């Protein structure tokens, strides 16, 4: 399931994407050249913002957050919020993007944690603002409610602020 996806922001083929694709393939890397790079980026963002946010606020690895109905529901709600923000912003995500994202969470190792989660748990500056905070801000800009991300962001912000002041 590990691969690198890339493409031009205008979604048009280019010599540099072709050259990078060839170099990656020659190095034995699995690549994906999506027809819509924006949809691919948002699908990844949907996954990582939910996975890292729920993991950080619960201080629990993937095996726990996906197994408990209450935290699994948080994961799905967070992904759905990011999906709704993407759709409101004109991103052409597929209808089953949330289900696909949940399947990706189900494939994570039992002890899997996102880097943002590890940083927060270690008291280090993290990606909170660029992941969960971004969903909150873009949701506000787009008129989309993001209550799960709002809760996660507000809950983790004091610790993030402290880590940034000390770091």
Condensed to tens digits (0 to 9), the pLDDT of residues 15-33 reads 999 899 889 888 988 888 8
Residues, the chain = 167
Q: If you average pLDDT over every residue of the chain, what do you get? A: 94
Q: What is the pLDDT of residues 102-141, one digit of tens each?
A: 999 999 999 999 999 999 999 999 999 999 999 999 999 9
Instruction: List the one residue out of 29, 143, 145, 3 whose CA is nearest residue 78.
Output: 145
What would the mean pLDDT of 80-98 be, rounded to a whole number? Answer: 97
- Residue 1's pLDDT is 55
Cross-strand bridge partners of residue 4: 31
Helices (H), 6-127: 15-26, 37-58, 62-67, 69-88, 97-106, 115-121
Single pTM value for the model: 0.89
What would the mean pLDDT of 88-95 be, rounded to a whole number? Answer: 96
* Whether pLDDT at 2 is above 90: no
> Helix, strand, or coil here: 6?
coil
Structural domains of the chain in order of their starting residue, each with its CATH number = 1-35 (no CATH), 36-166 (1.10.1040.10)
Q: What is the pLDDT of residues 30-78, one digit of tens each?
A: 888 889 999 999 999 999 999 999 999 999 999 999 999 999 999 999 9
């Amino acid at each position: 399931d590990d691969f690198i996806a890339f493409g031009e922001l205008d979604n048009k083929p280019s010599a540099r994407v072709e050259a990078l694709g060839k170099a990656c393939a020659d190095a034995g890397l699995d690549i994906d050249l999506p027809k819509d790079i924006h949809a691919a980026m948002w699908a990844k963002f949907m996954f990582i913002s939910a996975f890292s946010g729920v993991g950080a606020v619960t201080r629990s690895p993937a095996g726990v957050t996906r197994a408990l109905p209450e935290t699994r529901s948080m994961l799905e709600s967070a992904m759905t919020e990011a999906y709704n923000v993407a759709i409101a912003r004109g991103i052409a995500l597929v209808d089953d993007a949330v289900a696909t994202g949940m399947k990706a969470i189900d494939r994570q190792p039992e002890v899997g944690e996102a880097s943002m989660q590890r940083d927060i748990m270690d008291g280090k500056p993290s990606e909170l603002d660029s992941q969960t905070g971004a969903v909150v801000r873009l949701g506000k800009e787009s008129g989309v409610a993001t209550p799960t991300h709002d809760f996660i962001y507000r809950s983790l912000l004091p610790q993030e602020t402290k880590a940034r002041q000390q770091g």
